[in-house]
Chain A
Amino acid sequence: MLKRSFAVLALLVIASMILTACGSTGTTTGTQAAPAAASGNVIKIATQSPLSGDQSVVGADIKNGAQLALTQLSGPLTAMGFTVQLAPYDDMANPDTGVANAKQIVSDPSILCVVGHYNSGVQIPSSEVYHSAGLANVSPANTNPTVTTRGYPEINRIVGRDDVQGVVGADFAASKGMKSVYVIHDKTAYGQGIAEFFQKEAQAKGMQVLGFQGTEEKANFDPIITPIMAANPDAVYFGGMFSQAAVLFKQARDRGYNGMFLSDDGFDSSDAAKIAGQELLGGAGTFYSTVSGPASVYPDTAKFITDFKAAYNHDPQPFAAQSYDSMAICLAAIENAAKANNNQIPTRGQVASAVRALKDFKGITGTYNFNSIGDPTTSKYFVIQVKSADPTQWSSNTIVQTLDIAPPAPQQ
């Protein structure tokens, strides 16, 4: 028995060692494995997002967006003699894994910037680690106010806060003369956050909020549609992602609901048209608020979508464009910091302050300046109407409203 147990254990250990032998040569010295990477000149930028499990639909494209930006935009740094690499980490949408990865990231001195997280629940504890190591973090997707209200100098985001985007949606509904709304959210920090502020603003604008419900349901919305049909609101607002919103909208329209559908930037995916198609056009139409303008108006966005499809063979999911911009911001900041540092590899602190110091950084989703807590000073919000049931025509959706809104002033 002892012999067998030893044999099995030895096997396990050997197997794991073979696996890690690769891992550690790659991550510790980086010379044998990757010949191009002359150690000492390597700059790495990490991404953290859920790459495995059911949230990876969006999480993998956060990585892909960042990767695309790295390939396209690392030219200036390469010209300065640096090798720029991506270090993608999988946070599994789990805070424990996220924190452990964050610690692995900060223990690798060649990592100078982190693009990440999809879940605010992972970003908040992980960024404590980045903060204590002085490592810059640009978040492409975390809209929870807490992300920046802690006032850490390293933590930035380029998405609008929940307390802004919800307001945009409610103001739009009011401007369209909506008298009553029914609010649904997806029970994530993201969706619920937006929905809470939508509700608050809608009430302030004198609209009647006939219901406020959360649901983790992904398929069967019948039980939720019943009270909606009974309340018969002018508009239905969904705070969350297209994968649920489109299914809900389709089922509600099929049931005979004729009002307006309204959602947030999580709805901005051509898959929404694939799921709901014709149903999005019926009734009073379907609208969503977003920070990235449609490709038809913004040539940069159009180019991003074409390049992304060429590289990964599918349409970018929500937040892929934001992730592209987050990476671009990291690269620009590192470049500035390196120039200020006599073309030597800058320290983490220098990179972090360089991110904050960026002036009018022009990305594909907007022009960015950061305020003292790392929120973008003004975000341009678009309210967009779905115009075609054909998913390939998603980019021809039209802007019905454009708003510039600054985030709430930082309170310390």
Chain B
Amino acid sequence: MTLRLSIPWREARAPVLQGRHGGGGSKAVPAAVAGGSRWSGRTRPREEAGLKRANFGDGPGLPTLLLLPQLLILLFFFFIPSLRALMQSVLLSDPFGTNVQFVWFDNFKTLLASSDYRQSITVTFWFTVAQNVLTLGSALVLAFATDRIVRGRSAYRTIILLPYAIAPAIAGILWAFLFNPAVGPLAQVLQGLGIAWDPNLNPADALILVTLAASWKHICYDYIFLVVGLLAVPVSLMEAAAVDGAGPIRRFVSIALPMLGPTIFFLTVMNFIYGFFETFAIIDAVTKGGPAGATNILVYKVFVDGFVNLDLGSSAAQSVLLMSFALICTLLQFRYFDRKVNYGV
């Protein structure tokens, strides 16, 4: 049965392979024709996903060689470290690594029971949600405005895109200066209004400061995707809606926004990833997790516990939890790919 199944498959491939095998393929033709008539329902072979129809055929030698650099780097700097994190997360060791014990899931239990970790989860949650709302909201408004106007569009776009070039650490430093309680111009404005602003002492102020800096750096990313997405919304749809009497804002909310749905979903996932991982530099440059752990987001805590407190087991357990979270985000992104195909925007 398997043999017969394979015959029409080869037959359909024959034109491709002829260039390589020359006359050698002639022997297979009668059998292939017979098979072809029998399986006439399947005229084309089952194509392998993501493989060119015109390919260089079988043989693992050369492709392995081509893949080797990528796979070696992944092995050394990705798979082995991830495995080590998994192993360390079930081990308990002292800071010098002289005494190691296997403790099952004790590291996770201690971690989830500790108030520090819970605080860190809460902080991360509010930080990423606030950052997400602020970033996506501003980007949507700016993208809408950009889509409406004609004159000066590229000038605005150039300026709004600038923060993408600026390192998160530098964005953090700029905002730390603006809101520095002693010298910062914006902090002076706030103090002039009678607000006792001091991110070095006041936990809420510190969280607001890093959220502002993180959003400022990331609005441009969401913005450019939304601008490009809006360009892809068919003009005919917009015109039809306008003829039906829908105003510009109504059209944006009822037509453009739903069509941008997949893009917005994708951006939300990317914003969460940014907030979770890439804001490390902002935290380290501005608040160092303080005051009193008010800005100690999860990824910063992994770093502090691993390199400052030398609590390797706990740090590894945190890494494992974060990795699971990142994997969930990856799967969510997969959904985005599927939905994108369906909507076609």
Q: Do A and B come from one complex?
A: no
